[in-house]
Amino acid sequence: MTADIDIRGVSKAYGQNQVVHGIDLAVPSGQFVALLGPSGCGKTTTLRMIAGLEQPSAGDIFIRGKRINDIEVHRRNIGLVFQNHALFPHKTAFDNIAFGLKYRNVAKPEIERRVKRALEIVRLPHVEDRLPRQLSGGQQQRIAVARAIVIEPDVLLFDEPLSSLDANLREEMRGELKRIQRTLGITTIFVTHDQSEALSMADHVVLMHNGRIEQAGTPDELYNWPRSEFAARFFGDVNEISGVVIDNAGETAKVRLAEGAVLQVASQSPLSGDVKLLLRAERARVVRTPIARADASSIEGTVASSDYFGMLVRYTVESQGQRIGVLQPLEGSVFRPGEAVQIQIPNNAWIRF
Amino acid sequence: MTGASQAALQASTTGRALPLALMAPALAIIAFYVIVPLVCLGAYSFWTMLPDGTVVRDFTLETWQSLVTDPFYGSVLLDTFRLAFVSTVICVVVGYGPAYLMASAAPKWRGVLTILLFLPSWISYLVRTMSWLPVLGKNGLVNTALLGAGVVEQPLPLLYNHFTVYLGLVHYLLPIMILNIYLGLATVDPTIVAAARTLGANARQAFLAVTFPLALPGLSAGCLLCFILSLGTFVTPQILGGPGTTYYGNLVYDTILHQLDWPTGAMLSVVIMVLLIALLYVYGRFMGLSTVLRAIKS
Amino acid sequence: MIRARLFRYALAAWTVLVYVFMLAPVVVIVLLAFNGAPGGNFPISNLTFDWFGKVLTDKTLLASLRTSFILAAAASSIATVVGVAAAYALARYRIRGQTVSELVLTMPLLIPHLVMGVALLLSFRLFGLSKNFGLLVMGHVVIVLPFVVLTTRHQLQSVPAVLEEAAWTLGANRLQTMREIVLPLALPAILTGMLFAFMASFDEVTATLFWRPPGTETVQTQIMALLQFEVDQRIDALGALLVVFSVVVPFAALLVARLLSSRQANKT
């Protein structure tokens, strides 16, 4: 099966500054891929290279089997939705959307039909005569999407389109964009720095770091089976605890922490010596009295602070000389600062590299 | 993402050629019609003028020496410097108030005031300057009023002297100064001033400690521009001045077009250019070169 | 509190005074243009349009008006074409020597017209050229070029490069994008720059005195010549006309701009 988008060994350097280091990526038809990473990791540069707004210093980019490196921007059949919608301020919504169709020699009645259909897909059927400045932020972004999809591109690219919207709007738009992509089935690459966005929207997540692909896989894979410390830390709330292995017989090692408490840590490969363990906040539980379990260990601590989120509560517990964050559903009342508690951690919750 | 997009434009398929091609005509025009002439100016100042008026390309330092030996040049230069300095100071003193009012006025007033401010500068420099003639002349507005009111018995000779030149120059420079001061004041964040007030400063103290220093770039830009314009002024002294008032502009004009003494005229022009460059350099050092550009942009 | 009020009133009064100072003499000229009394000065009596008539029928004065117009139109047109191109390059591209180029392009603003006049005149002679209208135009181009570059450069920068990129991704090539996106959005600035350039050329006096070919007079040089003689009341009328011209044109431009932008908003 030929991938719709095939990136092979693509690098980009600005003078001495190497921004992207030889990345390979193959995106099958119809897939929604998120390019995720902190700012400066090269994700936007990669997107722009696919669009043709930047030239790769090395490597090849193929779309539907055809090498597009030397094809100019306006001849690639790509739809790009920009971070700040980039709607033409002096044209109406209709003219904005119709813009791409004009340069594809589409007949006027056909243009009308397609623009109207695009407006329906983004659920804004009645705004065609308005100017961008007469639309709200969310509406502007949807028109931008309509403009990109109406040309029926081979590939749809999004450059952090939701970062300039406020929180509630962002949530709503996530669902909208996903629905639109599903409806049209266009291969899509979505650049974002927001991990929850990537996890909730994408079929496939590509995590980038310093110009390289750190890890690629389904959202589930990246969240639960991170293959590097960077990947582990990127998602969710992660604690770091150091200790010394005192016993590593069998599948469960015993690790002694700073003030003497002993943890049971499940591990596939043998542990020894000093170890650094990572723990996701939601895998632990703060309880008043722990139930003794073979598959979990518990350590003592004192609640330092609690943040109430309605259905969740986040505790910061002082234990073993450090602060450990724990996120859990709220059962009963909230533990108050100063209370003595126990943190219960399943053996297999520990992540280690 | 403007940085990346700009880089993209740079790296895109048309490459380096396009931007240079776009800028070439403008740069070429400046090169031919400004830079080359300025160089010629320098060259001319070293050439000799024969008694019959033609200029030969024999190198001589005599023209430059006359700058030092002939006290006339020095005194004119001094007069012009004094003119520039005093006019600029007057503009600052007179203009700061209106600029401040404009900056602190409600938006609707500010619009009106701005238009009224620009109005004089749209009107031709020449017309503005010559408009003083019927006001200050023997039969002019002022004299007619004074005579009519019986304050004086004879019309006052208000025209064609140093006073008139100063007046005319200030009249011309005032809108420029006010505009620059206003722009400087407009950049002062009102919340900072408010902070100073809440911390205990009264209005005057807040102004001196916060507003004035922050608005200084505008003020100094205005001073720079007014000073530069004053040094090279020609029309004002020519029209409003008299036989006793020769400023640098008149001197150069006379030398070149009446006396046809081109080496001397060239030398004088070079002198003023050097002084201006020195001025800009000093200004740039204190205020940073970018503010020079910004000042010009206004 | 009262002190603040008083201060405010005093400041306002002073401002009024200053504004009157700046505008009054011009008002005087306009008034005098209607003065029927001989001697051309105060007191004003016999309001009349005579002087205007004399100005508008005087062949030399009309010729100088025409010269000024042609000169300003030519200089501002050339400056606009050349300047907008350069401004676009400066606004969009990061080239080596950008600050230097900017400085060079705005340099003429800092050179006194006096010096420009002398320098260009001398170099004409050096290259064996005699004064002609073409060189006069080019001299004016150089003087007004910075106005165009500065006005358009600023505006072009506020047309986000992103819009051009969006147009490219949608299928428009560079030229089409320039035509459809960049120029329409930058048009107000380009026209303003051109207007400034026109007015600047029209008002230019000092350098023109050095450059004009014999027999050619612009309005400004003509007035200068007439001022050598005692009183010529035609000057007042001419001055009044110029005042009206220089006030009406920018206002008209503003009105046109307002009309255009509101029409765009209502366009379907």
Q: What is the pLDDT of residues A97-140, one digit of tens each?
A: 998 888 888 888 999 999 999 999 998 988 889 999 899 888 99
Positive or negative: CA dihedral B274, B279, B280, B285: positive
Best B1, B16, B34, B112 member to test C by mutation, with max C CBs in 10 Å, is B34
Same domain, A229 and A312: no
Tell me the residue type at A245: V
Is C23 close to B5, i.e. CB distance below 8 A? no
| Tokens read off for B251 | 């001197």
B11: distance to nearest CA of chain A, Å?
7
Specify the DSSP class assigned to residue A85: -
Cβ(B65)–Cβ(B45) under 8 Å? no
pLDDT at B19 over 80: no
- B20 touching C, CB under 8 A? yes
pTM of the predicted protein model:
0.75
Which whole-number Å values give the CA distances from C38 to A155, C32, C238, in the listed order? 83, 11, 17
β A296-308/A187-192 pair status: unpaired
Partners of chain A (3+ Cβ pairs below 8 A)? B, C
Same domain, A324 and A203: no
Q: Which residues on B lie below 8 Å from C203 (Cβ)?
A: 124-126
Cross-strand pairs, A314:
A307, A327
Q: How far is it, in rounded angstroms, from Cα A199 to Cα A34?
A: 8
A301: distance to nearest CA of chain C, Å?
53
Q: What is the mean pLDDT of residues A183-191?
A: 92
Q: Which residues on C lie below 8 Å from B98 (Cβ)?
A: 14-15, 18-19
- B4 touching A, CB under 8 A? yes
- C181 touching A, CB under 8 A? yes
Backbone angles phi, psi at C215, to 5 degrees: 95, -15
Portion 152-191 of C in contact with B at CB < 8 A: 154, 160-162, 164-165, 174
List, for residues A315-329, the tens digit of each pLDDT value. 999 988 888 999 999
Portion 226-255 of B in contact with C at CB < 8 A: 228-229, 231-235, 238-239, 249, 252-253
pLDDT of residue A349: 86
Give the pLDDT band (50/70/90) at residue B17: low
Q: Strand, coil or helix: what is A189?
A: strand
All residues at 6 or more sequence positions from C95 whose CB lies less than 8 Å from its CB, including other chains: B10, B16, B19, B20, C89, C101
- B142 touching C, CB under 8 A? no
- B137 touching C, CB under 8 A? yes
Question: Whole-number mean pLDDT of chain A?
Answer: 88
B48: distance to nearest CA of chain C, Å?
14
Cross-strand pairs, A238:
A280
Best C14, C42, C71, C94 member to test B by mutation, with max B CBs in 10 Å, is C42
Portion 26-65 of A in contact with C at CB < 8 A: 51-53
Give chain B's domain count: 1
Q: Strand, coil or helix: what is B48?
A: strand
Locate the chain C residue with the closest alpha carbon to A100: C170
Which whole-number Å values give the CA distances from C45 to B144, C26, C32, C230, in the listed order? 14, 19, 9, 20
Question: Whose CA is closest to A299, among A335, A249, A344?
Answer: A344
Which whole-number Å values give the CA distances from B24 to A228, B20, B28, C149, C191, in the listed order? 53, 6, 6, 13, 22
List, for residues B77-128, the tens digit of each pLDDT value. 888 889 999 999 999 999 998 898 888 887 888 888 888 888 888 888 888 8
Give the pLDDT band (50/70/90) at residue C77: very high
Is A84 close to C162, i.e. CB distance below 8 A? yes
Is B1 close to A73, i.e. CB distance below 8 A? no
Locate the chain B residue with the closest alpha carbon to A42: B4
Same domain, A227 and A248: no
Is A103 close to C264, i.e. CB distance below 8 A? no
- B56 touching A, CB under 8 A? no
- B5 touching A, CB under 8 A? yes
Which whole-number Å values give the CA distances from B121 to A312, B172, B251, C32, in the listed order? 67, 8, 26, 21
- C37 touching B, CB under 8 A? no
pLDDT at C38 over 70: no
CATH topology of domain C59-266: MetI-like fold (1.10.3720)
| Tokens read off for A253 | 């090692």
Best A103, A130, A189 member to test C by mutation, with max C CBs in 10 Å, is A103
Which of B1, B7, B12 is nearest residue A14 as measured by Cβ atoms? B7
| Tokens read off for B18 | 């396009």
Q: What is the mean pLDDT of residues A136-161?
A: 91
Q: Which residues of A touch B (CB under 8 A)?
A: 14, 44-45, 48, 53-55, 72-73, 83, 159
| Tokens read off for B151 | 């304050």
- C21 touching B, CB under 8 A? yes
Q: Which CATH number is B246's domain given?
A: 1.10.3720.10
Best A53, A70, A158, A163 member to test B by mutation, with max B CBs in 10 Å, is A53
Which of A74, A131, A147 is nearest residue C168 as measured by Cβ atoms? A74
B5: distance to nearest CA of chain C, Å?
7
Q: Pick the last residue of a domain from A234, A253, A274.
A: A234
B24 found inside a domain: no
Cβ(A173)–Cβ(A143) under 8 Å? no
pLDDT at A157 over 90: yes
List the domain range (segments joined by +) for residue A13.
5-234
B155 found inside a domain: yes
Helices within chain A (DSSP H only): 43-51, 93-102, 108-121, 137-149, 167-184, 195-201, 219-224, 229-234
Q: Which CATH number is A157's domain given?
A: 3.40.50.300
Cβ(A67)–Cβ(A8) under 8 Å? no
pLDDT at B293 over 70: no
Question: Whole-number mean pLDDT of chain B?
Answer: 80
Quickly tell me which residue has 């701009």 as its tokens: C257
Best B2, B10, B13 member to test A by mutation, with max A CBs in 10 Å, is B13
Locate the chain A residue with the closest alpha carbon to C187: A90
Is A90 close to C184, i.e. CB distance below 8 A? yes
Q: Which residues on C lie below 8 Å from B124 (Cβ)?
A: 202-203, 220, 242, 246
Is B11 close to A48, i.e. CB distance below 8 A? no
Q: Which residues on A lie below 8 Å from C186 (Cβ)?
A: none
| Tokens read off for B115 | 């238009």
Q: What is the mean pLDDT of residues C133-159?
A: 87
pLDDT at B58 over 50: yes
For residue C184, how many C-alpha atoms fall within 13 Å in the half-sphere facing its CB?
14
Quickly tell me which residue has 């080019």 as its tokens: C138
Same domain, A269 and A215: no
Among A144-153, B36-45, B185-194, name the one with the lowest average pLDDT.
B185-194
A54: distance to nearest CA of chain B, Å?
5
Query: Taking the CB of residue A274, how many other CB atoms lie within 10 A of it?
Result: 10
DSSP sequence for chain C: -HHHHHHHHHHHHHHHHHHHHHHHHHHHHHHHTTB-STTSSSSP-SB-SHHHHHHHH-HHHHHHHHHHHHHHHHHHHHHHHHHHHHHHHHHH---TTHHHHHHHHHGGGGS-HHHHHHHHHHHHHHTTPPP-HHHHHHHHHHHHHHHHHHHHHHHHHTS-HHHHHHHHHTT--HHHHIIIIIHHHHHHHHHHHHHHHHHHHHH--HHHHHHPPTT---HHHHHHHHHHSS--HHHHHHHHHHHHHHHHHHHHHHHHHHHHHHHHHH--
Which of C7, C227, C247 is nearest residue B122 as measured by Cβ atoms? C247
Is A72 close to B13, i.e. CB distance below 8 A? yes
- C77 touching B, CB under 8 A? no
List the domain range (segments joined by +) for residue B213.
71-297
Q: How far is it, in rounded angstroms, from Cα B116 to Cα B125?
A: 16
Say how many CB pairs under 8 Å bridge A and B: 20
Same domain, A145 and A292: no
Locate the chain B residue with the closest alpha carbon to C114: B232
B184 found inside a domain: yes
Q: Which residue has the higher pLDDT, C64 or B298?
A: C64
Give chain A's domain count: 2
Ranges of each domain in chain C = 59-266
Say how many CB pairs under 8 Å bridge B and C: 259
Q: How far is it, in rounded angstroms, from Cα A124 to Cα C183?
A: 29
Give the pLDDT band (50/70/90) at residue B6: very low
Locate the chain B residue with the closest alpha carbon to C103: B293
pLDDT of residue A94: 92
Cβ(A243)–Cβ(A277) under 8 Å? yes
Is C205 close to B126, i.e. CB distance below 8 A? yes
Backbone angles phi, psi at C88, to 5 degrees: -65, -45
Same domain, A74 and A194: yes
pLDDT of residue B289: 57
B218 found inside a domain: yes
pLDDT of residue A112: 92
Instruction: Say if residue C173 is exposed, middle or buried (CB neighbours under 10 Å; 0-12, 13-18, 19+).
Output: middle
Percent of chain B with pLDDT over 90: 7
Q: What is the mean pLDDT of residues A191-200?
A: 91
Tell me the residue type at B62: E
Q: How far is it, in rounded angstroms, from Cα B222 to Cα B202?
A: 28
pLDDT at B13 over 50: no
Q: How far is it, in rounded angstroms, from Cα A133 to Cα A91?
A: 10
Is B7 close to A54, i.e. CB distance below 8 A? yes
Question: Whose CA is closest to B267, among B126, B20, B66?
Answer: B66
Is C162 close to B1, i.e. CB distance below 8 A? yes
Is B239 close to C142, i.e. CB distance below 8 A? no
Query: Taking the CB of residue A45, how many other CB atoms lie within 10 A of it?
Result: 23
